[in-house]
Homo-oligomer: A and B are copies of this chain.
Amino acid sequence: MIFDKFLLGRRRNQLTDGDLDALEQAAGPFRDLAPRTTLITQGTPVTFSTYLVDGFMCRYMDDRKGERQLVAVHVPGDFVDLHGYPLKRLDHDIASINACRIVQVPHARLDEIMIARPGLSKLLWFSTLLDAAMHREWIFRLGRFEAIKRIGHFFCEIEAKLRAVGLSDGSSFPLPMTQMDLAEACGMTPVHVNRMLRELRERKIMQIRANSVKIFDLAALYRLCEFDPGYLYLDDGIAQP
């Protein structure tokens, strides 16, 4: 079962057995990625899409001075660059954060799915729009939140996504990101990330160390960052604080 986490927590029940079979048939073999490996470079034409089986990946853009901004962080069960199928080339880079396992689906196979399986096609489309919804929330966060809320909100999102696929129990979860990574995700400097993490720790809300996050008070974290998981389009009951 390669796609056992795909859309888990989100309309998974609309995937028929036939749909799942079609996906499994379309997928290539498992591939392992070393940590911090660039998989796709901006602008290069792409002919397959990548599904993340295990590990964490990210998408990012660099400016002229080499300053990096993450635009997405991906967890197991995510179709990392399914948007590359209609787009044909990507406007950003994609890389692993830690050691990852992926499978790749050739776009030619997706063409067959588009013709034969409109229901599955619509769900694939839906999954790319989830990313767009998260993009919007990131815009909101960067445009209107101060540093501590930006960081906190980011953790809320990752926690909710991981919970949906069974990788968080609401009080702790793995996260192989450095403070530099967090800074690149939240539009701030690593130094300031460090100070904000200290504040979250001192306020007994949460703590991050050794690639693992501990949440002491998820309700307080939600409150602090005005977190409302509606934009993640999760099935009811998932991601309550």
Contacts and interface: CB of A to CB of B under 8 A. Distances in A.
A4 B128 CA distance: 27
Interface in A41-58: 42-43
Main secondary structure of the interface of A (DSSP, over half): helix
A55 B128 CA distance: 28
Contacts of A118: 111, 114-115, 118, 121
20 contacts: A42-B230, A63-B144, A64-B226, A69-B144, A83-B132, A86-B125, A86-B126, A87-B133, A91-B137, A114-B121, A114-B122, A125-B125, A125-B128, A132-B132, A132-B135, A135-B135, A135-B138, A135-B139, A139-B142, A142-B142
Interface of A: 42-43, 59, 61, 63-64, 67, 69, 71-72, 83, 86-87, 91-92, 111, 114-115, 118, 121-123, 125-126, 128-129, 131-133, 135-140, 142-145, 186-187, 226, 230-231, 233
